[in-house]
Amino acid sequence: MTTTLRPEGPETPIAAGGRTRRWRILANGRPVGALRTTAVPRGSQLWGQISELEVTEGRGRGRGTFGGLAAEEVLRNWGCARVDVDVPESAPAARGLALTLGYTERARNLSKHLTAAPDLPRGVVARPIGTEEFPAWLGQAERNHLRSLLDSGLSEEQARHKSRLEHRDLFPQGADSPGVVLRRLYADGEPEPLGSLWLDLHLRDLPDGEPLAWVMTVEVSPAHRGRGHGRTLMLLAERECLAAGVRNLGLNVFTHNGTAVRLYASLGYQVANRLYGKQL
């Protein structure tokens, strides 16, 4: 039996010079599945994405493996430097396929439904990050994120572009940008911050249509780590989310950050998706 990949339609251009195309997986000319390949510009490189990979007939016969490998070859020919796949937690077979094809889990998307605003521990206070403090905070946040991206397996160029995109472009009005919550945590009467929080209220939608806010960064100052301040910052994020009228909060955690993974699990956050990637 011959398995092939055939275009379902023409390529579609996307923003900034990217491209996407949907394909059919055929067995002896008969459709048995489909997938989509997408190339997204990231700095001077293209990143590939494989989505909509589904085998509709004859599962367990290697057709998913064929589809994944064929999609990688398409993306390689398009000039992509790496490929990522975003796999729902509800799809264990797809997670197994990603591992079989040599992908490494880089990150997890977590979410939690909020019901009541938690109390913060006594002896701490949260204050907004003001205009004067903002440039120094932003520079440090970008450097910390860059290190995490490098640790997760990205090349230096890929990490620098992604970090810059996720920080500089999201603050059109600096600390006063709409939909952004920036807070620092202090011990009562102490001038040095214990840590900081960046919460994004540019709402996303859950599959059921409910709005979802997003924790962009939680950072505890090095001298104060290991004392529960990361948990306090997450409780602060939940309070700010509910104060804005949003009852669902999500975040991204790098898989290599075991301390953070355990913290979020202890707070009741559930895995929604896992991001796998590899260099081409």
Per-10-residue mean pLDDT, the chain, length 280: 88 89 92 94 86 85 91 95 93 92 95 94 94 88 79 74 69 86 92 93 75 92 92 97 94 93 96 94
With beta carbons less than 8 A apart as the criterion, state whether 197 and 230 touch.
no
Q: Determine whether 214 is exposed, middle or buried from the number of CB atoms within 10 Å of its CB (0-12, 13-18, 19+).
A: buried
Residue 242 CB burial class (10 angstroms; 0-12, 13-18, ≥19): middle
- Residue 43 falls in which region: left (phi positive, over 0), alpha (psi -120 to 50) or beta: left
Query: Residue 129 belongs to a domain with what CATH number?
Result: 3.40.630.30
In which domain, by residue range, is 38 found? 3-102
Whether residue 279 lies inside any domain: the answer is: no
Distance spanning both ends of the chain, measured CA to CA: 28
Q: Say whether both 127 and 89 belong to one domain.
A: no
Residue type for 274, please? Answer: R
Judge if 167 and 241 occupy the same domain: yes
| Domain shared by 241 and 136, yes or no | yes
| Domain identity same for 53 and 87 | yes
Same domain, 147 and 216: yes
Report the predicted TM-score, pTM, of the whole model to 2 decimal places: 0.85
239 domain-assigned: yes
pLDDT for position 166: 66
> Is 81 inside a domain boundary?
yes
Helix axes 63-77, 92-100, angle to 10 degrees: 60
Work out how many domains the chain is built from and give that number: 2
Q: Are residues 218 and 254 in the same domain?
A: yes
Does 58 share its domain with 128? no
Same domain for 88 and 203, yes or no, is no
Choose the final residue of a domain: 102, 124, 148. 102
Helix (H, G, I), strand (E, B) or coil at 233: helix
Measured distance CA(185)–CA(197) in Å, rounded? 8
Domain edge (last residue) among 59, 79, 102: 102
Q: How many CB atoms lie within 10 A of CB 88?
A: 14
Domain-ending residue, one of 102, 132, 162: 102
- Looking at the structure, do residues 138 and 66 belong to the same domain, yes or no? no
Q: What are the phi and psi torsion angles at 255 (to 5°)?
A: -60, -35
Same-domain check for residues 141 and 255: yes
Same-domain check for residues 56 and 130: no
